[in-house]
């Protein structure tokens, strides 16, 4: 039997959260997902605002996104879906999450993602928004959306082309984690480091290497690479996530989440 690790206890609200924040340090705008990186409606809107601020900063030339503490991100806060009084209200969280992904993918400045710890659900999906991804060894990526009646849109759309069809669908359908070491071998992660301190140092070093090159050339590289993410397939994945969040099945699963229980399904 496959042992599936789902959302950590802190995801259930057992620890005092730290809000997302922005600091500009030299040429880098550091966006923190906070701790434990819960993606609720308010925090998602805050992250979109921070991305706008980082993009508008004249000083910052690179945007780095990372988490704090043990987790990179514990994913979407399904308690909102559990408490929703209608399908439309249930979908609000994922409509906001879709707006965050669209914003991050449309940024002109290069985005470096720093995976400081485990990433769950929507947090694992964020890995696809980074132009360059640096990860601390031992961290894991959990695409657990199907457990909660949902779908990981970016893994489902991009995964088959990068990981291969069978491997991408295995993780999307089972929720089994992928280590960052595996992600590095697959080409999802660019660099591996041994600690959070080394993570920030490596991001600074990569920033210096990027800035030895033509800014217009770097911006063009990003635009060309990101063009494939603006296809109808990517939008299909996002719209399917929103659709599923409105179903009675997903809403029942969210209530199980809020009660710290595993959902069950009739096949």
Residues marked active site are found at: 125, 145
Cα 18 from Cα 12, distance rounded (Å): 14
For the chain, counts of helices (H) and of strands (E): 11, 12
Q: Are 73 and 120 in contact (CB under 8 A)?
A: yes
> Does residue 36 have a cis bond before it (omega within 30 degrees)?
yes
Cα 72 from Cα 117, distance rounded (Å): 5
**Concatenated DSSP letters of 19-82:** --EEEEETTEEEEE--BS-EE-HHHHHHHHHHHHHHHH-SS--EEEEE--TTEEE-EE-THHHH
């Amino acid at each position: 039997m496959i042992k599936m690790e789902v959302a950590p206890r802190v995801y259930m609200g057992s620890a005092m959260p730290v809000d997302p924040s922005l600091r500009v340090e030299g040429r880098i705008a550091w966006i923190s997902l906070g701790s434990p990186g819960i993606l609720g409606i308010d925090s998602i809107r805050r992250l979109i605002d921070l991305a706008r601020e980082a993009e508008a900063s004249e000083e910052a030339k690179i945007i780095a996104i990372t988490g704090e503490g043990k987790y990179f991100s514990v994913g979407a806060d399904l308690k909102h879906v559990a408490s929703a009084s209608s399908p439309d209200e249930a979908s609000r969280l994922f409509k906001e999450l879709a707006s965050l992904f669209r914003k991050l993918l449309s940024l002109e400045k290069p985005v470096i993602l720093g995976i400081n710890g485990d990433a769950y659900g929507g947090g694992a999906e964020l890995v696809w928004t980074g132009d360059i991804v640096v990860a601390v060894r031992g961290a894991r990526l959990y695409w657990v959306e199907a457990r909660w009646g949902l779908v990981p849109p970016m893994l489902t759309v991009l995964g088959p082309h990068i990981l291969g069809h069978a491997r991408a669908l295995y993780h999307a359908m089972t929720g089994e984690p992928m280590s960052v070491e595996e992600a590095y071998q697959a080409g999802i992660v660019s660099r591996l480091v041994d600690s959070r301190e080394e993570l920030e140092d490596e991001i600074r070093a990569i920033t210096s290497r990027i800035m030895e090159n033509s800014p217009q050339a770097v911006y063009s590289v990003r635009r060309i690479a990101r063009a494939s993410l603006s296809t109808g397939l990517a939008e299909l994945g996002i719209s399917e996530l929103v659709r599923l969040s409105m179903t009675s099945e997903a809403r029942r699963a969210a209530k199980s989440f809020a009660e710290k229980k595993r959902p069950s399904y009739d096949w």
